[in-house]
Amino acid sequence: MKNKPLISVIIPTYNEIKYLPSLLKSIKNQTYKKYEVIVSDYKSSDGTIEVAKKYGCKVLRNRKKGVSSAKNKGFRESKGEIVAFIDADYVLSKNLFEEVVKEFEKDKSLIVIEPETRLNIRGLNIFARRIWSRYIRFLNLYKNFSYSTIYPAAYGCVFIKRWAFAAVGGFDERMEIAEDIDLFNRIRKYGSFKMIKATAQRSMRRYIKQGYFKTLIKYAISDILLFFHIKKTPELNPIR
């Protein structure tokens, strides 16, 4: 592993005790072992910090509210040639880091890699599972298509070349929704995007907490505004 790149995993948190242990366990089980984990936290009071320390993470305490600010602070404290921004409610397939490194080494034009997204739909009835299974298949197809456009839709769990992230100055800290898409709209001029078969499963919490329809509409509005270069995002209660 001496000549292999370091992956810096940056996880923004705010009261993530329900989800963070599963993510950290999936990171610990990775077949690729050259990584560091930075938990960038905003005033958690539920044991999130204790869990992060238990897993050996570097913990940053943020006074400034906001996921974009937390991610940028994590980046400034990181050292890896590859930077991964991962929301706390993801669970990673054990070969994800290994596959990311292979792809970056194989194709030097790549600057962003995203795993294939899965949804944790356990507990839903059969009808709901069918709907959400179709939705996530469509979402992955849409994401793949978007990479070849001026509007790449990568978010939630992404791996970025460090130099490319630095070149655009990181996340816009005014943005709390679609901050990833805004970033990649600026970063796309430096190289290409790719989705790989290794997977990352995320929870349904965004839809459950805010309401399915309400959440989809708010994210859609954010995307449309960004398309017209308007950086104004709808109000959304903090869930990260």
Does residue 1 fall inside a structural domain? no
In a domain? residue 49: yes
Residue for token digits 């030097």? Answer: 108
Total domain count for the chain? 1
Whole-number pLDDT of residue 222: 57
Structural domain of 27? 7-227
Q: For the segment 185-216, what is each residue's pLDDT rounded down to a tens digit?
A: 999 999 999 999 999 999 877 655 555 555 55
State residue 158 phi and psi, 5-degree precision.
Answer: -135, 150
**Within-domain flag for 234:** no
Q: Enumerate residue ranges in the chain where pLDDT < 70.
A: 206-240
What own/partner pairs with CB < 8 Å and gap ≥ 24 does 232-236 have?
Answer: 233/175, 233/176, 233/177, 233/178, 234/177, 236/176, 236/177, 236/210
Whether 12 is in a domain gets the answer yes
CATH of the domain at 105: 3.90.550.10
What would the pLDDT profile of 12-44 be if each residue is shown by its tens digit?
999 999 999 999 999 999 999 999 999 999 999
Instruction: Note the pTM of the prediction, 2 decimals.
Output: 0.88
For residue 239, tell me if it sits in a domain. Answer: no
Residue 58 falls within a domain, yes or no? yes
Of the candidates 70, 96, 61, the one whose C-alpha atom is nearest the C-alpha of residue 82 is 96
CA angle 32, 88, 163 (to 5 degrees): 60
> Is residue 232, in this structure, part of any structural domain at all?
no
Residue 233 lies inside a defined structural domain of this protein: no
